[in-house]
Structure 1
Amino acid sequence: EVVALQSGDEYARKAWQICCDISRKSFEEVYKRLGIEGLKEQGESFYNDMIGPIVEKLEKDGLVVESNGAKCIFTDIDEVPMMVVKSDGGYGYDSTDVTAVWYRLTQLHADEVVYVTDLGQET
């Protein structure tokens, strides 16, 4: 279903939008309790249209290697590669994370980015 959503399938988009609306209401309740106002929402989907072009740029720059049918970035920092395109052609968390960091550095001109994730969706 993720591939259908990422490719613009209308049914998948509508189902996803319903999930977002429900989640947003819950988030807003928490933000209100914490006294947080004026946030600009930029969820993972904000980056969807940017992922393909960023992956292409990384490929042109020679940073992407095909491994077991997936497109990956290998680093000296971790033995586990970042998978920017899964073997089924879909994009995963690594794709979104790389694109988000690119956006923050090149479009928002951030001097520093602190990127925090959890292991909640680790496979």
Structure 2
Amino acid sequence: MNPLYSTVGLLCLSNLFMTFAWYGHLKEMAHRPWIYAALLSWGIAFFEYLLQVPANRIGHTVMNVGQLKILQEVITLSIFVPFSVLYLKEPLKFDYLWAGLCLLGAVFFVFRGDLAAAKG
């Protein structure tokens, strides 16, 4: 399988786990002491790392670390916005659009060398 597709797929899954670890307790465990939420989050994060570490290792065969990080940030926003709106029932804001446009700029800057090489 193409390393880029494997990387994106694994990072999407890992980010879904991490989003639940970081924010799911706000809805599901609001009535519990924070230590319970922290322990549950650590447990979820363990499974996130089982996906994220291989994703970064596979991705590093075709991308540099900066590109991997920006890819992760794009995926983070792509997972977080629907999670926030659909699961946590937060309002959809234009600020997410502006953040996404800023990330597109970041994608351009970290991948522009590869774009120029592909053209040339």
Tell me the TM-score range normalised by the shorter chain: 0.3 to 0.5
Higher relative CO (Cα under 8 Å, sequence separation at least 6) belongs to: 2
Normalised to the residue count of structure 1, the TM-score between the two structures is: 0.33
Higher strand share: 1
Normalised to the residue count of structure 2, the TM-score between the two structures is: 0.34
Higher helix share: 2
